[in-house]
């Protein structure tokens, strides 16, 4: 398997976790032993951001969705409010819902 294929698979998995309903995201976070600390979801995507410079065959629309997701995650970080990265924020903050929507759109564009 090529490096690009592995990068794309990792990116798809990270985006798929961002597309999950909040309850499933919380279950995933608990399963990896971080409680309700949602920054793990952002870190997963961050691990693959550098690979976006590689030719992964993404369309401008797909790249736009990823950039929008990243922008919202930056907004959450800059808010300096830890509660945005815990259960309440993940469930109630409209930016998390927008991230989930953008992630679903990206996956739909990928045919997932």
Cα(85)–Cα(95) distance, integer angstroms: 11
Average per-residue pLDDT in the chain? 91
The more confidently predicted of residues 58 and 85 is 85
Instruction: Identify the pLDDT of residue 52.
Output: 66
Q: What is the pLDDT of residue 12?
A: 92
Q: Is the pLDDT of residue 59 over 90?
A: no
> Each residue of 21-36: pLDDT tens digit?
999 999 999 999 999 9
pTM of the predicted model as reported, rounded to 2 decimal places: 0.91
Under the banding of pLDDT at 50, 70 and 90, the label for residue 54 is low
CA distances from 21 to 3, 25, 28, 78, 82 (A): 30, 6, 11, 23, 20
């Amino acid at each position: 398997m090529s490096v690009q294929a592995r990068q794309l698979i990792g990116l798809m998995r990270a985006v798929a976790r961002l597309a999950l309903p909040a309850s499933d995201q919380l279950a995933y976070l608990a399963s990896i032993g971080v409680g309700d600390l949602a920054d793990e979801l952002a870190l997963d995507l961050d691990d693959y951001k550098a690979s976006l410079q590689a030719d992964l065959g993404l369309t401008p629309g797909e790249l736009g969705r990823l950039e929008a997701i990243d922008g919202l995650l930056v907004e959450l970080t800059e808010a300096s409010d830890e509660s945005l990265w815990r259960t309440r924020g993940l469930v109630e903050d409209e930016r998390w819902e927008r991230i989930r929507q953008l992630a679903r759109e990206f996956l739909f564009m990928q045919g997932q």
